[in-house]
Every structure is written in C-alpha cells, then in structure tokens.
Amino acid sequence: AFSPLSTRLRKNLADRGSNVRSLVIGIAGGTASGKTSLTKALVKEFKGNTAVVYLDNYYKSHTGLTYEQRAALNYDAPTAFDIDLMIEQLRQLIDGNPIECPVYDYTIHNRSEEVQEIAPQPVVIVEGILLFVFPQLCELFDIKLFVDTDADERILRRVRRDMVERGRTIDSIEKQYLETVKPMHDLYVEPSKRKADIIIPDGVQNLVALDMIINRINNYLHSV
Ligand code: ADP
Ligand code: C5P
C-alpha cells in the first residue's frame, strides 16, 4: 500500500526498530511569505495532532556579543543556525520522544533563557526560511511545501511585523534588508524552491492549496 513516509524516513525508523511514524511536513519560503500563517492554519485544523518545530528557534546563541554586534550579524545565511541540534531534536521527535527546544527572542537578537517542551505527534510541521538548503533536513520531510510570495509584498509585511513585534526601527529594517536579507534570499532561499514538492502562491490565502494539504493530512491521520 502507498505509504506517506519517505523511503529514507521509513528506513531510518526501521533501522532503529521504531514503530512511531509521524508525517513530517516542511514549510519553507522567503521572510514574511506567510509560512507561520499557513502553519497556524494547519495547527488549528488538526488540533492536538500537530507538533511544530521552527527553524528560527535554532539560531545560534551569541552571549559574548553586545546588542549592536548581534544586530549586525547575518541572520539569513545557513551558517546562522545550529542545524545539527535541530536535526538531532527533530529525529528525536519523529522517533516519538519529547524534546526541549530552544526559544529565540528576536527583540534581543539572541536565544532566550526559556526552553519549550514539544511532545511527539502524528503530524510534525517544520517551518523556516532556509529548510530546503540543508540536505539532511530535506531527508526527514515527507512533504516539502514552499510558500511563494512576491518580494514587494514580503518587505511590506516585514516592515510592519518587525516594528510591531520584533522591536525594530525602519532604518534598521532597511539596512538589514539590503545588506543581508535580500542577497541571501536570492542566493539561498529562491534556489531552494526547486527542492519543494509543492509551491504555494500566496500561502494561506490559497484555499485550493490549503484544501489539498488538509485532505492529504486527513488521509494520513485516518490511515494510522
Ligand atoms: P513568515 O512566517 O513567512 O515570516 P508570516 O505568516 O508570519 O510569515 O506573515 C508575515 C506577516 O504578514 C504577518 O504579520 C502576517 O500577519 C502577515 N500576512 C501573512 N499572510 C498574509 C496575507 N496573505 N495577506 C496579508 N498579510 C499576511
Ligand atoms: O519569520 P521569518 O521567516 O521572517 O524569520 C526569518 C527572518 O528573521 C530572517 O530573514 C532574519 O533576517 C530575521 N531575523 C532577524 N533578527 C534576528 C534573527 C532573525 O531579523 N535576530
């Protein structure tokens, strides 16, 4: 019978003698493309059956640097993330174990003191700009979704969000966008779209795409 699990993941699980099988969905896309909005729509639809892991929580911590020094770092390159920790924790979660995930605080450009316990669930959603740049992460995804939103809409949304939610000034947003966010998007995020299984224009507003994804997850939940 058709299995929703990737061949690689099935093999990984079999190698470890595990019976636990989560459907793992990767949601990537540029900054402010609508990844979190799509993730939240799926979490709401499948109440209690989803665990969410955000790539942003695995930004490296920079305790030795001042706020100004941290603000000047490149947060849009693959090297900004502790990807080994993320892969290790994601494997744990898919294997059916709870994890203690770091929690990132954008207002201080650093990891917070908190950790968040995430319990294993039949559906695991992983969200983040650069997910599909990392081959070892891609191997863990059964379905790879890329939210595709025009750059002009994304920067408009980002300005508003970063000022309201992330404690930024318009000057800092402009500088960061031109110096790192946009060049890294062109270098890494946009090419990684080719790794996606499905490209979703406009994210959560795309009701046809949302309906297809929800149906796919429902099929999976009814098969386990
Ligand atoms: P991402 O997770 O990709 O950074 P979010 O889902 O957090 O994107 O969206 C970024 C901002 O844009 C948020 O403030 C959100 O409310 C807003 N937003 C998301 N989707 C839409 C949309 N379709 N239309 C208008 N605003 C949106
Ligand atoms: O939610 P979104 O996908 O936009 O989050 C990723 C973005 O967060 C990156 O484009 C990065 O520039 C930004 N970021 C930031 N400051 C940090 C860490 C990340 O502006 N300290």
Residue 1 has what pLDDT? 36
Which atom of ligand 1 is closest in space to residue 160's alpha carbon? 14
pLDDT mean values, one per 10 residues, the chain (224 residues): 48 52 94 97 95 98 94 97 98 96 96 96 97 97 97 97 96 97 98 97 91 95 86
- Give the model's pLDDT for residue 2: 41
pTM of the model: 0.93
- Alpha-helical segments (H) within 65-106: 67-71, 83-94
Please tell me the predicted confidence (pLDDT) of residue 40: 97
181 Cα–ligand 2 center, Å: 8
109 lines ligand 2 (CB under 6 A): yes
Collapsed DSSP state (helix, strand, coil) of residue 121: coil
Considering only CA atoms, which residue is closest to atom 5 of ligand 2?
31
Q: How far apart are the first and last CA of the chain?
A: 13
pLDDT computed for residue 10 by the predictor: 52
Q: Does any ligand 1 atom lie closer than 6 A to the CB of residue 161?
A: yes
pLDDT at 14: 54
Sequence-separated contacts (24+) of 7-11 with Cβ below 8 Å: 8/139, 8/140, 9/94, 9/139, 9/140, 9/142
Residues 127 and 30 sit within 8 Å (Cβ to Cβ): no
Q: Is 205 in the pocket of ligand 1 (CB under 6 A)?
A: yes
The pLDDT value given to residue 21: 72
Q: Give the per-residue pLDDT at 224.
A: 77
Separation between Cα atoms, residue 165 and residue 35, nearest integer Å: 16
pLDDT of residue 203: 84
- In ligand 2, which atom is closest to the CA atom of 128? 3
